[in-house]
Structures are given as structure tokens and as C-alpha cells.
Structure 1
Amino acid sequence: MASLLKEQPSMSTLLAAYASLSAMAMLIRTILNEMIPKPVQKYIKSKLSDLISNYLSSNFTFIIEERWQAVYNETFRAIEVYLPTRIGPSTDKLLLGSNDHNNPTAPPKRNIPSDCKIIDEFEGITLEWTLHVRESDKYYIPDKKCYHLTCKKRVREMVEQRYFPHIVKMAQTILSKREKLNIYTYNQDRCRWESAVFKHPARFETLAMEPELKQFIMEDLDSFAARKDFFKNVGRAWKRGYLLFGPPGTGKSSLVAAIANYMSYNVYDLQFQSVRNDADLRRILISTTNRSILLIEDIDCSTKISQDHAKVKDDREKEGEDGKLGRTSPVDSGATLSGLLNFIDGLWSSCGNERIIIFTTNHKEKLDPALLRPGRMDVHIPMGYCTPAGFRKLATTYLGIKDDKLFGSIDDLIKNIEVTPAEVAQQLMVRSDDPKAALQCFTEFLNMKKVKVGEDVIQKEEPKDENEKDDGKQSRKHDESESGSIYLT
């Protein structure tokens, strides 16, 4: 035993050997760093890491990022819809909140916070989900989000081929049965859409419109929703465009809300004037989801900016040449009409399916002709002044009556006076607790409006001859006939 102890190396010998090996390792490392290029080093390290993980780990991880190349990842969106339904007792934390201002006492919605683990079961296989969020250093660049799905390597193929399609189908089912809709507005500073609960009471049953017009719109919407294969076969994007035109107060916004409720589509309300440029517009539009409505109100104001854009740019360049403060910035140059039309029926129109695009305007005659060409806006719907049928619908809605002895005189007045459905609704709401008094007050309102219209006519210059009178009558007849027409392009 004593001889064996004597043969063992001393502590100083061991330290000296360790120091020699460390120096040798550092020397070899320095030589390799100098001789082997960095890309080759990274390649070797990655291969070694993969080799070690293959032998030591039996798990595999799928990574699903929020964006896929130039557009939003539809798989990511399906997971966002599906995963909150899989929250269970094993979930360690939750994100709760509510954006329903109409019902503040309702239970808050569930969502998945960063680094929260969700366990899901599929065909006897246990799957683990985790949301990862990488915060951006710049406020105008959105945070990067991605989901990690961890499973056993042996079931990787089955998860990819059967589990992910299962998630997409479940997400579609959930969206088709959703009871609450959202309305989105684009936050330019944070570069993302922000939502609020959309609970507008407008329905086709309550709209003060001609029954034939309402029936036409509903049938057109039903036909659009059921013709996915048709659009594919004819080589067109699965979209439908509506142009609503008419004076203010004729129910354009109410019709948009009725369409959203009828189709169960979310609404993306885009303020076109605030878009920086065409690239920004394209990014905003392709970030909208399927089964949604893109709404651009007062498009005549937006297109005016587009038409004047080239002139403003030339003026700025001329000011720069003259030595004045003429600066052109691509950030505030504004989006153009061509950029919008490219999304409607150009090459970028294929980015998304089952979408409805609605433009509203008070002055159709001010629109650029390019917007009115066939294929741009499929249906042109005039929103005119209130008609006797529209009045009766409003009387039923606000007063709860379907007939009265005053209806005949009111019908005669409405046929000869331009009164909007908004004006009628406002008058009926004042005395809605007493239908008789409300109808009497409304009749007085129409008579006063008729007197005022007569006074305005007298103040106008009389036509010089009978020919001008006839021309004026023909023009008015033409306007009246056009206001009741539906244009299909």
C-alpha cells in the first residue's frame, strides 16, 4: 500500500500538467481561429450541436413566426384562435382583458402571455406550446412573436401532416361561430391594427331602405360567400367591392354595419389620408385577415389627395431648385390611388381571400374615373333620401306602429321633399314615447321644410325661356332615375 501511495503523482505535478494542457488547448484554439474562417467555424459548431442534440435529446421543436416572408403567417393566426380554447389546469399563467365597453361586467377574455406553456392532446400525443415575444428597441417596429411547439421526434411527421391541418380547421370553425365582432383601426405609430368590440345594432331588418334593394344586397352577399370555387375557376381573387354613394345621413355607415353583422365579418376602418406612402399602404392592407371588411369612408377626399400628389411633388421640387424650403420626404408623401387600385384588382389582390371592400362617398362625381372602371367596384349602391317605405320602416322601429291615418299625408310630403333617414329618425326619437304626438310633430317638421324649400326656389333665378325649363325638368328626371339604380360592373 505504501508503495502505491508513493507512485501517485503529487498535487504540484497535477497542477503543472493541467497548466500545460490548458496552454496547449489555448494555442490550438488560437491557431484554429486564425486558420479557419468564421463561416466554417459556425458550420462546424452547428453540426456538432445537432449531433449532440440528436443523441442526447428526443424532442423536436416547430417554430411558427408571426410573419411569413412578405405577409402575415396564416398558420400563426390559426394558432392564435385555437390555443386559447386549450387552456387548462396545467397552464401556469394567463393574460386577461376586455375591450367590450358595452358590457363591462362580462367575464374578461383569455389570452396567452409570453413564456406561458399550454399542453394539448392530439390522438394520444402530448404537445407543448410556448409563446415567445422579442421586444423591439424602436417604438415604430412591432415586437416579434413566434410560437414554439415541442413534441417527440418520432411523431414529427404526424404532427406536421395531421395536427397543423386540424388546428386550421378548428380555427375556421371557431371564427364561423363567433358571436362578437371587432372593428380595427390602424395605429401608425405602433405599426399595427388595434381592435375594439364591434356591437352595432344595425341589421337589414331595421334599415330604412327599399325592400328590393335590401333583398338584392343580401342575395349578392350570399352569392359571394358561396362562390369560392367560381372565383378560383375564373381566375379572380375572392373579393367583392361595394361603392356606397349618396348625401350625408342616408345610411351608408348603417349599411356597412348591417353587412358586417349579416356576414359575421370584422371591420378594418382605414383612414386613407394618414397613410404615409404606397409601401406603407401595401403592408397595412395585406395585414388584414380573411373574412373581413375593409372600409374606406369618404373616398372622394382620399382620391383628391392622390390626384394632387404629383402636383405637390413637382411644386416641392421646383421650390428646392429655387433655393426655398422645398423638401420631399418619402415618409409623408402620401399613398396614391394607383397603390390602392393595385390591391383591389392588381397583382397584390391575390393576398387574401373572402374579403369585402367598401368605399363610401358623398360625391360620386368627384371620384377618379379609374376607380369606377369595371372590375374595381363590383356593385354601385345609391343611398338616397327617405322614401315612404323607408319612413314606414322607421316608424315601426322607433314608434312601434305599422299604420296610422297620418301616414298618407306624410307619404305625400316625403315624395316631394328631400329628407334623409337620419333626419326622420331624429324627429321620431324626440317623442317616441307618444307615437301620435311624434307623428304630428314630424308632419309639422315636413311642412316647415316644404315652406323653406319653396322660399329657396323663389329666390333662385327663373329660367329665361321655356326650353330651359324643359331642360331642367329632364335633368331632374334623370337624376331621380339614376338615384334609384344599382350599378353592376
Structure 2
Amino acid sequence: MGIPYRRGYLLHGPPGNGKSSLVAALAGAYGLNVCVLNLAAPELTDDRLNTLLGNLPRRALLLLEDIDAVFVGREPRSPAVKLSFNGLLNALDGVAAGEGRVTFMTTNHLSGLDPALIRPGRADRHLPLGNATPDQVAGMLRRFWPAWTDAQVQALSAGVPGGLLSMARVQEYLLERRHDEAAVGRDWPALVGTPCPTRLLLAAS
């Protein structure tokens, strides 16, 4: 049908909710490699980018992390960035773009991205990965303490408003108390009452 044989995914949402981990999990599930490319590297020029993408190994996922940290609109965020915006667009789906490639891009700030970068053909699917929901918190509690009853799990998870805490914050809280089961419930109000530090930073930026 003349459709280029490649696919692009944009994973967006607050930090600490598994954007990069999702890519690693997919690679593990299908026996693929992950090639991580830092677009802000000072030595990365348009020509260098095309060379690297042309030499991607077979059965590999391409991961471009934190693409919002590279460009502000279409301008480089830092003088150290040598890659041009047009060079990035052409590398993703230009005439010389390779076939058989699956690309993942991640960002914490979807609104700051130029529409040309995330249109279909470059980012065919946009997948939001938000902060923890009560159901996700319940799932993590069951993973740490599978012997807990549904009543024990629900008593804690129901008190977490959706969007308040990142999954990483909940996981760290449970890891800190993995040898003190009683402390999980005892300290729970402090967890729920303290927004995730990264959420505070994002709100202030």
C-alpha cells in the first residue's frame, strides 16, 4: 500500500510513572534491544544522527528520552545542542528514514512540543502515563503484601486521590517500610498529605 514500515509512540506524563520502564518492559517481553539516543549531546549533528539511525541494529527499539529538554518550539534549548529541528524531523520520517523502525519518545511537558514533531507519521500514538490512581496503588500494595485482605488494601488505596502521587513515590514509600508492615498504615496519612516532589517542581515551572 506504499505506507512506510515504521511506527512512532509518544509517552507523556509526570516523571516517575514508568515511561522509560514501559519501553524496557516491552523490549524484554519481545526479546528486543533498546537503543537510547541523547538528542542534546553536543557531538550530535544532523549528519551524525542520520548515520546513527542508519546503523540501528535489527530487532531494536529506538528511545528518545525527554525530547522537551532539547528544543523550545523549534529552537535549541541550549547553545550546546548542535542538532537542528528540521534535521530531527527528517531523520524521523524523511526520505532517508529507515524502514522497520519502532521509535518511542518521552516527555514530561506535552504542551511544550512543536506539533510538527508529534504529528502522525512521527508519533502515531500518544500514550499518557499519569500519576497513580487508587486501583494502581491497590495493585502495588498487593504486590508487596499478597496476604493482605481486600479490606486492608482498599482502606489505604481509597484514600489516595487520583493524580496526587507518582508511582515511583508510592513504590519508594513501600520499599522504605518493606520490613515494617505496620508502618505502612501508620504513616499513610503523611504520604497522602505530601505531594510528590516532582509534582511540586512541575507546578512551579
TM-score by length of 2: 0.83
Structure 1 residue aligned with 2:194? 449
Structure 2 residue aligned with 1:439? 184
Name the aligned partner's letter for residue 370 of structure 1. A
Q: 1:414 aligns with which of 148, 160, 167?
A: 160
- Seen in structure 2, the aligned counterparts of structure 1 residues 416 and 359 have a Cα distance that, compared at 3 Å, is closer
CA contact (8 A) 1:398 1:425 kept: no
Q: 1:372 aligns with which of 107, 111, 118?
A: 118
Question: Which structure has greater helix proportion?
Answer: 1
Determine helix, strand or coil for the equivalent of 2:8: strand
Structure 2 residue aligned with 1:307? 75
Does 2:95 correspond to 1:347?
Answer: yes
Structure 1 residue aligned with 2:176? 430
Distance between the aligned counterparts of 2:161 and 2:94, measured in 1? 43
Q: 2:30 aligns with which of 263, 274, 284?
A: 263
1:427-485 deviations in whole A, cap 9, x for unaligned? 111122343x14314523334328x9xxx9xxxxxxxxxxxxxxxxxxxxxxxxxxxxx
Structure 2 residue aligned with 1:281? 49
Larger radius of gyration: 1
Distance between the aligned counterparts of 2:122 and 2:163, measured in 1? 34
Note the C-alpha offset of 1:394.
Answer: 1.2
Identity %: 34
Higher relative contact order (CA 8 A, sep 6+): 2
Determine helix, strand or coil for the equivalent of 2:104: strand
Structure 1 residue aligned with 2:85? 337
* Structure 1, unaligned runs of 5 or more: 1-233, 313-331, 457-489
- Seen in structure 2, the aligned counterparts of structure 1 residues 412 and 396 have a Cα distance that, compared at 3 Å, is closer
Distance between the aligned counterparts of 1:264 and 1:343, measured in 2? 25
Does 2:39 correspond to 1:291?
Answer: no
Determine helix, strand or coil for the equivalent of 1:281: helix
Distance between the aligned counterparts of 2:23 and 2:128, measured in 1? 13
Note the C-alpha offset of 1:253.
Answer: 1.7
Determine helix, strand or coil for the equivalent of 2:120: coil
Runs of 4+ in 1 over 4 A off after TM superposition: none
CA contact (8 A) 1:300 1:366 kept: yes
Note the C-alpha offset of 1:404.
Answer: 4.2
TM-score by length of 1: 0.37
Does 2:158 correspond to 1:391?
Answer: no
Structure 1 residue aligned with 2:203? none
Note the C-alpha offset of 1:410.
Answer: 2.3
Distance between the aligned counterparts of 1:281 and 1:420, measured in 2? 33
Alignment RMSD (CA, Å): 2.7
Name the aligned partner's letter for residue 151 of structure 2. K
Q: Say how many residue pairs are matched.
A: 196
Equivalence map 1:38-437=2 (5 Å): 234-274=1-41, 275-304=43-72, 307-308=75-76, 334-349=82-97, 351-353=98-100, 355-401=101-147, 403-415=149-161, 418-435=164-181, 437=182
Name the aligned partner's letter for residue 302 of structure 1. V
Note the C-alpha offset of 1:303.
Answer: 2.4
